């Protein structure tokens, strides 16, 4: 599943396309789905991040194009949703306009999740992602420059109880390469033995 950037600014249509890799074919799921695809739940349901005054998260049906609200808030914008490997939990960051984001997790359910369902993970952080076994939630603290990230922290998570039993620890830090947080959908991906990041070199040289 993929989206296209269309002209028109904030009111630009946001189509989503479904590609069949085996057949080499694709079809348009909708001319304006209101957001961009983020992750498959299963072969039929797709998590999308919807862009508006306050971002929200929904599930869209691959066949019908019908959408179902998953995460929404009356005063917070929700971004960067990531499903746990067992598809039982969803991690995301949320923030009020003008404030820094915080990272939360919530159980993935059929009904829309309200803020009382959210479990707080850490403040001044964003771009959560799960370890391959789902026992660690990683995320990136927000530093002095809100447009980039240079550190990854992690907290152990108990899926059965929805509890973070320990404090966060730093698992990666870089003084040169930075993740461009201003580009949507750039949260890292964890495999059993690696973390894959989108990084940019923001350093420069002076020549004489």
Give the end-to-end CA distance of the chain in Å, rounded to a whole number. 49
Compute the half-sphere exposure of residue 105: CA atoms within 13 Å on the CB side of its CA. 28
Rounded to whole angstroms, how far apart are CA atoms 206 and 208? 7
Nearest CA to 77 out of 112, 4, 31, 126 is that of: 126
Kindly give the confidence (pLDDT) of every residue in the chain, 208 residues in length, as a single tens digit, with 9 standing for 90 and above. 999 877 776 678 999 999 999 999 999 998 999 999 999 999 999 999 999 889 999 999 999 999 999 998 999 999 999 999 999 999 999 999 999 999 999 999 878 898 999 999 999 999 999 999 999 999 999 988 888 899 999 999 999 999 999 999 999 998 877 889 888 788 999 999 999 988 887 767 889 9
């Amino acid at each position: 599943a993929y989206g296209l950037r269309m002209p028109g600014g904030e009111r630009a249509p946001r189509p989503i396309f479904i590609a069949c890799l085996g057949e080499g074919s694709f079809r348009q799921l909708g001319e304006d789905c209101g957001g961009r695809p983020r992750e498959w739940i299963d072969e039929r349901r797709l998590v999308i991040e919807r862009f508006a005054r306050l971002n929200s998260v929904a599930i869209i049906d691959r066949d019908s194009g019908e959408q179902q609200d998953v995460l929404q808030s009356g005063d917070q914008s929700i971004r960067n949703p990531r499903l746990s490997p067992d598809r039982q939990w969803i991690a995301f960051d949320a923030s009020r306009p003008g404030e820094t984001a915080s990272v939360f997790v919530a159980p993935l359910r059929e009904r829309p999740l309200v803020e009382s369902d959210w479990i707080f993970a850490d403040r001044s952080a964003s771009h959560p992602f799960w370890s391959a076994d789902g026992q660690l939630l990683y995320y990136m603290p927000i530093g002095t420059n809100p447009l980039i990230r240079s550190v990854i922290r992690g907290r152990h998570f108990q899926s059965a109880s929805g509890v973070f039993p320990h404090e966060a620890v730093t698992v990666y830090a870089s003084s040169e390469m930075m993740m461009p947080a201003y580009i949507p959908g750039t949260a890292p991906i964890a495999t059993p033995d690696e973390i894959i990041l989108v990084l940019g070199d923001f350093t420069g040289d002076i020549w004489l």
